[in-house]
Copies of this chain bind each other. A is one copy, B any other.
């Protein structure tokens, strides 16, 4: 089998022209059935595969999409990637993965690579640092190059691009309402990500659902660690339910409860943004917001491909929201 055979070599063996071979292989009606068959037979015999690089050059496209992931160890993003890969495969697209590690610098480098034209389009969730510093020039540069870009998950930023995200605000609005419907009033929220878009939205959902009720918010600040704030909420304020916007705040909360001998869910109910595969194995298991990351990935690829093919007209931007699901495990049992 060894090294790859080319069209030219095939054509030589068959004593026909390269064009004839190419057409035959593409089932062109121009070619006589007889030649077509001869060609295909030999191609099969030699296990001919068109050189994708050459095909791409000819077609001025790459069949490839670039995916920028802030942190692959976060299983949320791992599962998004899984959805992306599955959907890309449906479209015969390859995905090139870049990991920014939540770093603005790395993200800039990646965007620079991306502008060189290795990919037909880009799927990106911006890094935390990028959001904090609100530095988006490199993203605008990408857009300037006319590369189709879809922003996923972290969509709460001002960028003229298509977006596919999660309904962060509604999820915690609903979770808060859930507790209220059960008659609770002392409901708090803890967050280690209050400075980034998704954190803000989750907090805002909570606040809206609290209406006139007093809100209790724990976040790290100059006056103390997140842990001390959570302790205050649990011990001094005696909240009966706590929403956690992220893994860190959820884990700290369970620690504090453990240390203070606060029983979950008897004394304290918890619902948090925490990934399924961890939530289920904690003791007690932690109720969480399921974000359907894989579907988010699938949707992101769909939108990107609509953009690439021109189905979405320039100047208009799609914004898709994936609905979340509340999953009740032990920590929110009544």
Interface residues of A (CB under 8 A from B): 1-4, 47, 49-54, 56-57, 62, 64, 72-73, 75, 78-79, 81-82, 85-86, 94-99, 101, 113, 115-118, 141, 144-146, 251, 254, 258, 277-278, 281-283
A258 adjacent to B283 (CB under 8 Å): yes
A73 adjacent to B75 (CB under 8 Å): yes
B145 adjacent to A1 (CB under 8 Å): yes
- Complex CA–CA separation, A101 to B54 (angstroms): 30
5 contacts between A and B (CB under 8 A): A2-B146, A53-B117, A75-B78, A95-B96, A278-B281
Chain B residues, CB < 8 A from A145: 1-4
With A54-B57, A144-B1 known as contacts, the answer to whether A73 contacts B277 (CB < 8 A) is yes
Chain B residues, CB < 8 A from A64: 96
Q: Which of B49, B51, B277, B282 contacts A282 (CB 8 A)?
A: B282
Question: Which residue of chain B has the shortest Cβ distance to A96 in the bound complex?
Answer: B94
Ranked 3 nearest A-B pairs via Cβ: A1-B144, A49-B116, A97-B97
With A49-B115, A53-B53, A85-B97 known as contacts, the answer to whether A283 contacts B282 (CB < 8 A) is yes
Extra contacts, 6 of them, besides A2-B146, A72-B85, A85-B99 (Cβ < 8 A), are A53-B57, A72-B72, A75-B75, A82-B99, A85-B97, A281-B282
Judged by DSSP, the binding face of A is mixed
Q: Report the minimal beta-carbon distance from A194 to chain B, rounded to whole angstroms.
A: 22
Chain B residues, CB < 8 A from A85: 72, 97-99
B94 adjacent to A95 (CB under 8 Å): no
Q: Report the minimal beta-carbon distance from A222 to chain B, rounded to whole angstroms.
A: 27
B251 adjacent to A281 (CB under 8 Å): yes
Chain B residues, CB < 8 A from A96: 64, 94-97
Q: Report the minimal beta-carbon distance from A25 to chain B, rounded to whole angstroms.
A: 14
Question: Which residue of chain B has the shortest Cβ distance to A49 in the bound complex?
Answer: B116
Q: Report the minimal beta-carbon distance from A297 to chain B, rounded to whole angstroms.
A: 11
B50 adjacent to A116 (CB under 8 Å): yes
A118 adjacent to B97 (CB under 8 Å): no
B62 adjacent to A73 (CB under 8 Å): no
Chain B residues, CB < 8 A from A82: 72-73, 99, 101
Q: Report the minimal beta-carbon distance from A330 to chain B, rounded to whole angstroms.
A: 12
B94 adjacent to A51 (CB under 8 Å): no
Chain B residues, CB < 8 A from A72: 72, 78-79, 81-82, 85
Chain B residues, CB < 8 A from A101: 82
With A2-B144, A97-B95, A258-B283 known as contacts, the answer to whether A116 contacts B78 (CB < 8 A) is no
Question: Which residue of chain B has the shortest Cβ distance to A110 in the bound complex?
Answer: B89
A117 adjacent to B278 (CB under 8 Å): no
- Complex CA–CA separation, A116 to B52 (angstroms): 7
Chain B residues, CB < 8 A from A47: 115
Most buried by B among A50, A75, A101: A75
Question: Which residue of chain B has the shortest Cβ distance to A61 in the bound complex?
Answer: B53
Q: Report the minimal beta-carbon distance from A203 to chain B, rounded to whole angstroms.
A: 23
Most buried by B among A79, A101, A283: A283
Chain B residues, CB < 8 A from A116: 49-50, 52
Q: Report the minimal beta-carbon distance from A177 to chain B, rounded to whole angstroms.
A: 28
